[in-house]
A and B are shown apart, each in its own frame.
Chain A
Amino acid sequence: MRTLLRQIYDPVYSKWFRAEWEGLEKIPTEGGALLVANHAGAIPSDAPVIMHGIEKELGRPVYGLADYFFRTVPVVGTLWSRAGGVSANPDNAYRLLHDQRQLAVVFPEGTKGPSKSFTDRYQLRRFGRGGFVEIAMRTGVPIVPIAVVGSEESMPVVFRLPALAKLIGVPYFPITANFMMLGPLGVLVPFPAKFRLRVLDPVTFDVPPDQERYSKSRVMDEVENIRTLIQETIFDMLRDRRSIWFG
C-alpha cells in the first residue's frame, strides 16, 4: 500500500512540483529528529512533498504528525495512516522520536496555516502552544526547521465558508482558486507551482530530557525563535524567486 502510494506520488513530486531541496545534508541520517515547517495551501501539498522528498533523497521514512481530525475522515484517514501519517499526540511523537529514533515532521501552525486566505500568503501564523518544542526537549532530539516556498500558490484559498465548515464538522471549508477554475476536480488537483525547500541548521536545546515540565517561558522563546527563523528564510527565498511556476 505504502509503496503503491509512493509510486503514484513520485511523478507529482518530481514532475508536477519539481521540488528542489537546499541543505538536505543538515537532516540527521540516523537518530530521531523533529522536522518543523510552514504549512499552506487549502489542501497542503507541503506535507507529502516533505515526506516523500526526504524518503526519496535520504532513504529515511518521515512520519507526518497531523491533526486528530484526519482520522475521522473516511478513506482519507486510512490512506494517510498507511502512508506514514500519525495523530499528533504527544505520546505518539515521544514514541516515534525517542523509542524508535525516527524522523517526524510537524506543522506547528496546524489548520491556521492552510486555512488562511491567499492575501496572507507566506505570513506565518501562530506556532501553536509550543508542544513541538516541549516534545523535542523531552525526547532530546534536535529540531530541524524547513522553509517551504510554493505551497501557497499550489492551492490558494480565495475565501472560506465558516458556517458550512461548522455544519459538517470540519476545521475549515475553503473555496480555492483550483475549485473555481476546475470545478470538483480542483479539490484533487493543485496548481503546478515550483516547490523550493530549504533546510535550516538544526536547533538543539541544552536541557535534560524526560522532565515532567519545562519552563513555559523558555519553551515559548524557542518557539518564537524557530518561527522567526523560518519566516525570515521564506522572505529571503521569495526575494530570489523570479517566477511562481518556474522558481
Chain B
Amino acid sequence: MGRRVLVTGADTFWGGRMIQALEGDPDVDMILGMGSSSPSVQLERAEFVRADQTYSTLSRIVRATQVDTIIHTFLVVDSTLVRPRVLHEINVIGTMNLLAAAGAAESPVRHVVVKSSTLVYGSSEKDPNTFSEDEPRSSPPRTRVERSLVEAESLVRDFAEDNPSTTVTLLRFANVLGSDIVTSISKNLSRPVCPSVFGFDPLVQFVEEDDVVRALEFVTRHQLPGLFNVAGSGRLPWSEVASICGTHLVPLPPVKPALALRPFIQLGLFDFPPELESLLRFGRGVDTRRLVDAGFRYRYTSAGAVQNFIRSLRLRRSAGHRPETYTYEHDVEQFFRHSPSVVVRGGPAPPGSFGPGGS
C-alpha cells in the first residue's frame, strides 16, 4: 500500500513545491495539502483543505484521512513576511498542535518530517566555522524568528522522545536562493544596492531551492530518522555574493546598523530583518556530511545556488515576469477529482488514488 501524506503550508511556496514533487511519486497514494489560504500552484491529484492550525481541526483531519506521513513545511523563517505575533502562532503553536494531533492515541502517523532552518544555530562571534548537527548554538537566541524556531524544534524533540515508534526527521536548511523563491536576502541581492556591515565580510552558505525539495523528498522516501543540515557545499564571502549578483554593497555603521537603515527599510529600499544583521557580521556555516553520507546528492553548491539565482533573475529582468496564470477554484478542483463525469485516462488508477485531473 502506498503512503498517505499530509503537507502543511500548501498555500506557501514550499508546501506547493513539495506537493508537486510528491504528485510525481507513484508510491504516494494520497496527498493532502493543508493551508490557510488558496494554494498558489496548480495541483494535479492532491486534495486541498483550507484549515487553520488549531488542534481540533488537525486531529480530525489526521484521523479522518489516516495519513501515515506528515511533512511540516509551514515554519516561517523570514520575519519580514509576517507580524511577530503571527510568527509565534505559526511556528510554535502551529507545530505544537500538529505534533499533538500526530501523537494522539491510535494515531496512524508513522513519519514526521519538519523543515527547520540553520537559523537555530544563530550567528555570533563564538560560533565554530561549521556547525555540525549535534553542536549547540553558542549564544542565546536574540531575534523572534530564532526564538520561535528553537522552541518549535524543542517541541519536535519532545515529540520524538514521547513517540519512539514514529520516525521523526528534522531538516535544517541554510539560506535558500533559487529561481523562484523570494526571501529578504534574494530581494536585497536583486536590487542595485545591498546592505552590508562596515568592516565585516562574513562567509555565508546557501542552498538551492530544488535541493531543498529534493532533500525533503529524499528523507520522506527513505524514512530517515534524525537531524540533518541541508546546505550547498562551500561558503563564500558576502562581498563575492554581491559581485556575482552585480549589486553594490552599502556599508552600514557597525553600531546599530538597523537604526541607520530604518527610513530606507520603511521606504522599501532595503530588507533588513534582525536575523540578517548578525549573519552579515559573522556569517554561518554548517556541516552537511551527515545527509551526504546517508546517500543524498546535491545538485548545487553554495556558489552554484547564487549563480542559478542570478541567471534566472537576469532572465526575469529581460523577459519580464511570468504571468500568474493559475488561481485556485475550489469547485472546479473538486469537480475534477470527484465527479463521475471526469474520464480518467492513463491506465487503471489504483484504488484510493486519484487519476490525473484535467487541466
Binding site for B on A (CB under 8 A): 68-78, 82, 86-87, 89-92, 95
Partner of A95 from the list B125, B129, B138 (CB cut-off 8 Å) is B129
Q: Taking A91-B135, A95-B130 as contacts, is the C-beta distance between A74 and B197 under 8 angstroms?
A: yes
A78 touches B127 (CB 8 A): no
Report chain A residues within 8 Å CB of B282: 71
B198 touches A74 (CB 8 A): yes
Partner of A74 from the list B125, B132, B135, B200 (CB cut-off 8 Å) is B200
B125 touches A78 (CB 8 A): no
Of chain A, the residue at the smallest CB distance from B289 is A99
Closest 10 CB pairs of A and B: A74-B199, A91-B128, A75-B199, A71-B125, A89-B128, A68-B125, A74-B254, A78-B201, A72-B125, A68-B126
Q: Taking A69-B125, A72-B125 as contacts, is the C-beta distance between A77 and B200 under 8 angstroms?
A: yes
Q: Which residues 120-136 of B sit at the A interface, judged by CB distance below 8 A?
A: 125-130, 132, 135
B199 touches A78 (CB 8 A): yes
A92 touches B199 (CB 8 A): no
B201 touches A92 (CB 8 A): no
Interface CB pairs A-B, < 8 A, 15: A68-B126, A69-B125, A71-B125, A71-B281, A71-B282, A74-B198, A74-B200, A78-B201, A86-B129, A87-B126, A89-B126, A89-B127, A90-B128, A91-B128, A91-B132
CB distance from B66 to the nearest CB of A (A): 44
Of chain B, the residue at the smallest CB distance from A74 is B199
Q: Which residues 95-142 of B sit at the A interface, judged by CB distance below 8 A?
A: 125-130, 132, 135, 138
A78 to B251, CA, bound (A): 14
- 1/0 per residue B181-209: CB within 8 Å of A? 00000000000000001111100000000
A69 to B197, CA, bound (A): 17
Report chain B residues within 8 Å CB of A87: 125-129
Report chain B residues within 8 Å CB of A75: 198-199
A90 to B126, CA, bound (A): 11
Give the number of residues in B that approach A within 8 Å (Cβ atoms): 17
Report chain B residues within 8 Å CB of A68: 125-126
A240 to B138, CA, bound (A): 46
B129 touches A92 (CB 8 A): yes
A76 to B199, CA, bound (A): 7
B129 touches A73 (CB 8 A): no
CB distance from A23 to the nearest CB of B (A): 31
A69 to B126, CA, bound (A): 8
Of chain A, the residue at the smallest CB distance from B203 is A81
A91 to B129, CA, bound (A): 8
Report chain A residues within 8 Å CB of B138: 89
Report chain B residues within 8 Å CB of A92: 128-129
CB distance from B357 to the nearest CB of A (A): 51
Report chain B residues within 8 Å CB of A78: 199-201
Report chain A residues within 8 Å CB of B197: 74
B199 touches A73 (CB 8 A): yes
A77 to B200, CA, bound (A): 7
CB distance from B131 to the nearest CB of A (A): 8
A78 to B135, CA, bound (A): 24
CB distance from A87 to the nearest CB of B (A): 7
Report chain A residues within 8 Å CB of B254: 74
CB distance from A110 to the nearest CB of B (A): 14
A82 to B203, CA, bound (A): 11
A73 to B282, CA, bound (A): 11
- 1/0 per residue B262-281: CB within 8 Å of A? 00000000000000000001
Report chain A residues within 8 Å CB of B281: 71-72
Q: Which residues 39-60 of B sit at the A interface, judged by CB distance below 8 A?
A: none
CB distance from B358 to the nearest CB of A (A): 55
Of chain B, the residue at the smallest CB distance from A75 is B199
A91 to B197, CA, bound (A): 26
Report chain B residues within 8 Å CB of A72: 125, 281
